[in-house]
Amino acid sequence: MTTTPATLIVVDDDPEIRELLADYLGRHGYRALTAEDGEALRALLARETPDLLIVDLMLPGDDGFTLCRELRRDSEVPIIMLTASADETDRILGLELGADDYLGKPFNPRELLARIKAVLRRTRALVPPRPAQARLVAFGDWRLDRVTRELIDADEARLPLSGADLQLLQVFLDHPEEVLSREALFELTRGRPAPPLDRSIDVHVCRLRQRLGEDAQHSQLIRTVRGAGYVLTTRVEALA
């Protein structure tokens, strides 16, 4: 049986990087398209449904932050952000805006390939649920629809989740009332050990709390355990 290759879009204003990555990813079984800026990306998205985007932070016109924010308004396509900036603030902001992973420039194409495989693997593992796995899961005042990847509140309003947010929430739902360290959360969501001093999990937890209508100081569902990590404080119930 022939498997349809995943479609990737590389967004970078450097033509050499676009050509290099398109060739490299093509040789590793992906359908790689390229765009030099936000306008070219929008034109591609009008006719393509990519499985993953690789977006450079420093683009002419609309930068990577702007594109990430725009995409997250109506799309949950996985995004890996590339940045030559050594400023950790840029990376944190990218994650806050909805990027699923980031990679600093310069980088080894093999590492990017590994990140792509990991993000796609995580995304594909999220849907559809296995027959024995409940579609709807209740926790606190919320329900999670695993098929549509949406949170449902008490008023039946639906809130779509990005792949990274959904993956983190599912880890908490799999370990209710259990304190999970940052290192454990990173490994369970990323599939690799956490780098030293990495704080990206804090960013993802903050973003998930915002989705749940909470903040760090008054969070009742996901609490910070000082010096230990985070804990989902409520029981979890499979509904259907």
What is the arrangement of strands in the sheet containing 79-83, beginning at the earlier edge strand? Answer: 31-35, 7-11, 52-56, 79-83, 101-104
Largest pairwise CA distance in the chain: 52
User: Is the model's pLDDT at 238 over the cut of 90?
Assistant: no
Domain boundaries, the chain: 7-126, 136-238
pLDDT at 193 over 90: no
> 80-100 as b/e, with b when 16 or more CB fall inside 10 Å?
bbbbeeeeeebbbbbbbbbbb
Query: Residue 136's closest CA among 150, 123, 125, 122?
Result: 150
Average pLDDT of the chain is 87
Tell me the pLDDT band of 216, cut-offs 50, 70 and 90: low
pLDDT band at 147 (very low <50, low <70, confident <90, very high): confident
CA distances from 33 to 41, 53, 107, 141 (A): 10, 10, 20, 42
CB 154 within 8 Å of CB 212? no
Q: What is the mean predicted confidence (pLDDT) over 217-235?
A: 88
Of 127, 121, 175, 122, nearest to 150 by C-alpha is 127
DSSP state of 3: P
| CATH classification (class only), 136-238 | mainly alpha
What confidence score (pLDDT) does residue 126 get?
55
Contact predicate 189/164, CB 8 Å: yes
Give the separation between CA 104 and CA 108, rounded to whole angstroms: 10
- Using one digit for the tens of pLDDT, what is the confidence trace for 49-58? 899 999 999 9
What DSSP element (H or E) covers 35?
A: strand 31-35
Confidence of residue 129 (pLDDT cuts 50, 70, 90): very low
Q: pLDDT band at 40, cuts 50/70/90?
A: very high
pLDDT in tens, 14-30: 999 999 999 999 999 99
The band of 94, judged by pLDDT with boundaries at 50, 70 and 90, is confident
Q: Which distant-in-sequence residues (6+ apart) come within 8 Å of 88 by Cβ? A: 199
Q: What pLDDT is stored for residue 110 in this prediction?
A: 93
CATH number of 7-126: 3.40.50.2300
Q: Indicate the range of 27-36, 74-83, 208-217 predicted with least confidence.
A: 208-217
The SS3 assignment for 13 reads coil
Please indicate, yes or no, whether the overall pTM of this predicted structure exceeds 0.85.
no
For residue 164, pLDDT beyond 90: no
Is 172's pLDDT higher than 50? yes
Cα(208)–Cα(189) distance, integer angstroms: 13
Pairwise CA distance, residues 68 & 86, whole Å: 19
pLDDT of 212 higher than 60: yes
Structure tokens at 213: 């209508």
Confidence of residue 85 (pLDDT cuts 50, 70, 90): confident
